[in-house]
Amino acid sequence: MLQDGIIRSCLLLIEQKKNLEKKLSDSQVVNNSLEYKNLVIEYNRVSEIVNIYEQINIIQKKIEELKNEKISSTDEEYKFLIEEEIERLQKEFGELEKKLLSMLLPTSEYETKNIILEIRAGTGGEEAALFAADLFRMYSKYCAKKGWDLEIMDINQTGLKGVKEVICYISGKNVYKYMQYESGVHRVQRVPETEASGRIHTSAATVAVLPEAEEVDVEIKQEDLEITTCRASGHGGQHLQKTDSAVRIKHKPTGIVVQCQDERSQIKNRERAMKILRAKLYDIKLQKQQQELARLRKSQVKSGDRSEKIRTYNFPQNRITDHRINLTVYNLSEVLDGELDEIINSLIQADLQEKIKLLYSK
């Protein structure tokens, strides 16, 4: 049975569909191409939801009829066949219900946005830097599987192929929708390459996923910026040392500092730094919203707390555990090769259930 709140929402959409049909038959609307186009898009969206709701009602009615038929029947073999059909219909009901709920939930304004991904080595010295490099490789492979583009904006590497910090821009279809759950502390348990005695060490790296912000999303006043340039340093080739191409921007009201040095052009580095700064300021606003939402629904999936330990990668046991939803999988090597769908899809489903409880349990 559908919850009362969901039924009410669907009944309102049935009325909305009727009103849209009237508008679409209006000659004035038909002659206004932009208005007509927008109404057709909305009509198709509403019609799809109403169609699923009607299918659910038909299945629900069939189940009730079969149950009554089973009660009145004296043929045991026929009862068994009825039970099988009821089981099949209940499964179909469950699948349609999930689809209906996901369509009823309002989509966030930033779900389709591209992202700025930041990975930083945490506690654990060189081993933490090596783990940060592993995470960067994992996300790079995941992006390739999804058909997304990844562009390194700034990177600080160590001599042993580790990464102290890497910032990259990921663009494509629904990037934030899938990557938003990766923010937090990632912990690794393994024997480091530098460990002679074979003892297992625990290290960590932090991941931040920031939705890309447009200029209209965040207002940045020029007087609030402190911009300096210098010669780039670190791994990146001799050309970095020849000009003052590295750009450092400080946002005085928040104290946020960003720096880019990977491009030879100071202008390009400044553009990249501003893109990162906008994303960071936009993210502060979103985190406040998420923390308030988490307080209301006590969500374990996405609280907005970047210091939260979200996942453990245990190499000796080939195990990955996501602590927010108590999910454990034993395919660590595959996950590090970019096979993240099982974990991320489980997080999406858990978050969906939390949102459903918030919206329709009243």
pLDDT digits (tens, 9 = 90+) for 112-130: 889 999 999 998 888 999 9
- Which pLDDT does position 106 carry in this prediction? 67
Query: Which of 128-132, 242-246, 283-287 is predicted least confidently?
Result: 242-246
Model confidence at 239: pLDDT above 50: no
**Higher-confidence residue: 69 or 306?**
69
Beta-ladder partners of 259: 248
180: tokens are 């938003």
Give the contacts of 257 (CB within 8 A, at least 6 positions apart): 248, 249, 250, 251
pLDDT bin (cut points 50, 70, 90) of residue 216 is low
Query: Which of 47-51, 76-80, 233-237, 352-356 is predicted least confidently?
Result: 233-237
**Higher-confidence residue: 330 or 211?**
330
Closest C-alpha to 302, from 362, 338, 352: 352
- Which pLDDT does position 64 carry in this prediction? 94
Give the contacts of 72 (CB within 8 A, at least 6 positions apart): none
pTM above 0.85, yes or no: no
Give the mean model confidence (pLDDT) for residues 131-142.
Answer: 97
72 vs 343: CA distance, rounded Å: 46
User: What percent of the chain has a predicted confidence (pLDDT) above 70?
Assistant: 86
Query: Which of 121-130, 159-168, 280-289 is predicted least confidently?
Result: 280-289
If DSSP states are collapsed to H, E and C, what string results for the chain? CCCHHHHHHHHHHHHHHHHHHHHHCCHHHHHCHHHHHHHHHHHHHHHHHHHHHHHHHHHHHHHHHHHHHHHHCCCHHHHHHHHHHHHHHHHHHHHHHHHHHHHHCCCCCCCCCCEEEEEEECCCHHHHHHHHHHHHHHHHHHHHHHCCEEEEEEEEECCCCCEEEEEEEEECCCHHHHHHHHCEEEEEEECCCCCCCCCCEEEEEEEEEEECCCCCCCCCCHHHEEEEEECCCCCCCHHHHCCCCEEEEEECCCCEEEEECCCCCHHHHHHHHHHHHHHHHHHHHHHHHHHHHHHHHCCCCCCCCCCCEEEEEECCCCEEEECCCCEEECCHHHHHCCCCHHHHHHHHHHHHHHHHHHHHCC
Model confidence at 240: pLDDT above 50: no
- Which pLDDT does position 272 carry in this prediction? 85
User: What percent of the chain has a predicted confidence (pLDDT) above 90?
Assistant: 47
What are the two backbone dihedrals, phi and then psi, of residue 253, each rounded to the nearest 5 degrees?
-65, -35
**Higher-confidence residue: 102 or 344?**
344
- Which pLDDT does position 236 carry in this prediction? 45
3 vs 298: CA distance, rounded Å: 21
What are the two backbone dihedrals, phi and then psi, of residue 339, each rounded to the nearest 5 degrees?
-85, 75
Model confidence at 303: pLDDT above 60: no
pLDDT digits (tens, 9 = 90+) for 52-87: 999 999 999 999 999 999 999 989 999 999 999 999
Model confidence at 245: pLDDT above 90: no
Q: Which of 21-30, 294-303, 332-341 has the highest mean pLDDT?
A: 332-341
Model confidence at 197: pLDDT above 80: no
- Which pLDDT does position 142 carry in this prediction? 97
Model confidence at 165: pLDDT above 50: yes
213 vs 283: CA distance, rounded Å: 9
Model confidence at 21: pLDDT above 90: yes
pLDDT bin (cut points 50, 70, 90) of residue 224 is confident
pLDDT bin (cut points 50, 70, 90) of residue 232 is low
User: Going by DSSP bridges, is the β-strand pair 309-314/184-190 parallel, antiparallel, or unpaired?
Assistant: parallel
User: Going by DSSP bridges, is the β-strand pair 309-314/163-171 parallel, antiparallel, or unpaired?
Assistant: unpaired
- Which pLDDT does position 238 carry in this prediction? 41
Please, what is the average pLDDT of the chain? Answer: 85
291 vs 297: CA distance, rounded Å: 10
Give the mean model confidence (pLDDT) for residues 28-55.
Answer: 90
- Which pLDDT does position 17 carry in this prediction? 94
Q: Is 348 exposed, middle or buried (0-12, 13-18, 19+ CB in 10 A)?
A: middle
